[in-house]
Amino acid sequence: MNSLPVQPVATTPRKFNKIWIIVIILLILLCLCLLVVGVAAYFYIQKSNLGIGNVFNATQTPQSNEVNPGAEIRSEDGGYSFKMIPDYKINTFMSMPGVTLLIPTDNHKDMIGDGPEIALVGWVNSTSLSFEESASQDYDQDIKHYKATRIDEQQVSVLGLKGIAYDYEYEISGAGKIKAREIYVMVNAKQIFMIDCKSREGDWDKTLADFETLTNSVTFFEPIPSPTLAPVQSPTKIP
């Protein structure tokens, strides 16, 4: 009796099975690695200076002496306003009616010294002195205060108003030569405005450019002295 031939059953090669096993193992290991890295990164960020909390801190409202460039600053006591210039801040150490002192933002001493610095002062002339006499008297006081050398005097105009510009220089021990410029403006028959700048000789070109930018942004209005303070009679001398 003849029997039918037995047909062999096809089997999956063992090599093919091993490849899939290796792939699955590698995927599992990759997932574990990603999980470990994610957990480690989470704890690292929580403890490091790169955390999300610090990013929000960087966008918090700046301190009172840190004003964004272009922002308008008004001195009600002094009767003037100006646009803040880049890289400067208001020196809160000099807080007096009618006086605003600007120093570079990288100056952490917050004290008056060898500059660079720009000061703005507005006051009401309650004396019988004319504008020219008042400006000359105040300028003479600065010359004596700093023991400075007079360099130049010239007529200028600020917003179409009469002004006088004075240049002078003096020495500071340990800092060398300091250069300075003062501009007095007759806002009206009684109201006077003064803006000055000073810096070491090596910083003068940059300081003078900042000074001119600031001066060109100034506007005037009637001063409103605080009812608890006497009206500003003359600018307070800046050491």
**Average per-residue pLDDT in the chain?**
77
Helix (H, G, I), strand (E, B) or coil at 101: strand
104 plus 48 within the same structural domain: no
36 plus 86 within the same structural domain: no
Do the domain assignments include residue 152? yes
Question: Would the pLDDT of 239 be above 70?
Answer: no
| CATH assignment of the domain containing 125 | 3.40.1000.10
Q: Give the pTM.
A: 0.66
99 plus 144 within the same structural domain: yes
Question: 49 falls in which pLDDT band (50, 70, 90)?
Answer: very low
Number of domains in the chain: 2
Residue 148 and residue 170 in contact, taking contact as beta carbons nearer than 8 Å: yes
135 plus 39 within the same structural domain: no
Question: Would the pLDDT of 110 be above 70?
Answer: no
111 plus 183 within the same structural domain: yes
Over residues 61-101, the pLDDT tens digits come to: 334 556 677 889 999 999 999 999 999 999 877 668 899 99
103 plus 43 within the same structural domain: no
Q: Summarize the confidence of residues 142-158 as an average pLDDT.
A: 91
Do the domain assignments include residue 226? no
Do the domain assignments include residue 6? no
- Measured CA angle at 198 (ends 196, 201), to 5 deg: 145
Selection from 133, 224, 214, 159 nearest residue 181 by Cα: 214
Over residues 5-36, the pLDDT tens digits come to: 545 545 555 555 677 777 778 778 777 777 76
Tell me which residue range forms the domain holding 49: 13-60
Tell me whether the omega of the peptide bond preceding residue 97 falls within 30 degrees of 0, making it cis. Answer: no
106 plus 52 within the same structural domain: no
Q: Summarize the confidence of residues 169-180 as an average pLDDT.
A: 89
